[in-house]
Amino acid sequence: MTLEILASDLLAPVRHGFFTRRGGASSGIFAGLNCGPGSSDQAEAVRINRGRVAEAMGVTPASLISLHQVHSPDVVTVHEVPAERPRADAMVTDRPGLALGILTADCAPVLFADPDAGVIGAAHSGWKGAVGGVLEATIEAMEALGAKRDAIRAVIGPTISQRNYEVGLDFMDNLLAEDDANSRFFAGGRDADHVQFDLPSYALTRLRDAGVEAEWTGHCTYAEPDRFFSYRRSTHLKEADYGRLIASIRL
């Protein structure tokens, strides 16, 4: 099966892609394009999968850079291939030939570009990173490399949708404590103790409030098991582990 790569006109002409799980070498619960070295999948399968992504992005496997993601607001500026994965949740670069790769399985993968300035970024934005400011920090790091805020475009890739993202009332209370206006990102849940959270809309609002043009591809990771890995779906199915999707961008 060939790779399936989702792209957005908003990021054109910068080369990028939100890769689905289709077209990979992994099997079992990881079946398809699992690109997570932190998973319990066979290391050789992950290596083959990442090699296929690198080839699709037109870079060497070593130049497909990913992070040790920790749900933080931390951003690293990449000038060359690092010796080991940086501990952070976003990265930016102005160097051609380096492909930035973000791994997700329900959280929001966000790709950024200012084509005129020749600056790109990629962020892993779960609710914790978004609340902590990882999206705004990525924009600021791009500006430090010469990007212009009003020229930056951002696209959120496949992410768990509100319909499938149930959280407890304490989660909602914490976000309402940050800003009462956050109530718009919640809807009623299955009972009085649960609500549904709209992560992609929350991330979109943060991006647009920061002054950048942004959109979501509209794909829900939980709802399409044949196309996307989902941490929450795997948990509900009581599976031992889950695959990781990759989103990548390069100059």
Residue 181 corresponds to which amino acid? A
Neighbouring residues of 89: CB distance < 8 A, sequence distance ≥ 6:
67, 69, 70, 71, 72, 73, 74, 75, 123, 124, 125, 129, 134
Q: What is the pLDDT of residue 233?
A: 97
**CA distances to 66, 186, 193 from 164, in Å:** 27, 12, 16
5-161+198-250 domain in CATH 3.40.1000.10?
Answer: no
Q: What is the pLDDT of residue 192?
A: 86
Task: Give domain limits for the chain.
Answer: 5-161+198-250
pLDDT in tens, 33-59: 999 998 999 999 999 999 999 999 999
Q: What is the pLDDT of residue 57?
A: 98
Residue 130 corresponds to which amino acid? A
Nearest to 160 by CA among 234, 89, 212, 241: 234
Determine how β-strand 153-156 pairs with β-strand 108-114. antiparallel
Q: What is the pLDDT of residue 190?
A: 87
Q: Distance between CA 112 and CA 189 in Å, rounded?
A: 33
Task: Residue 209: count other Cβ atoms within 10 Å of its Cβ.
Answer: 11
Q: State the pTM of this model.
A: 0.97
Q: What is the pLDDT of residue 189?
A: 85
Mean pLDDT in each 10-residue stretch from start to end of the chain (251 residues)? 94 98 97 95 97 98 96 96 95 98 98 98 96 97 98 98 96 93 94 94 98 98 98 96 98 97
**CA distances to 15, 39, 134, 161, 251 from 208, in Å:** 22, 33, 14, 19, 23
Torsion of CA 19, 25, 27, 30, to 10 degrees: -30
Please, are residues 232 and 159 in contact by the beta-carbon 8 Å criterion? no
Q: What is the pLDDT of residue 96?
A: 97
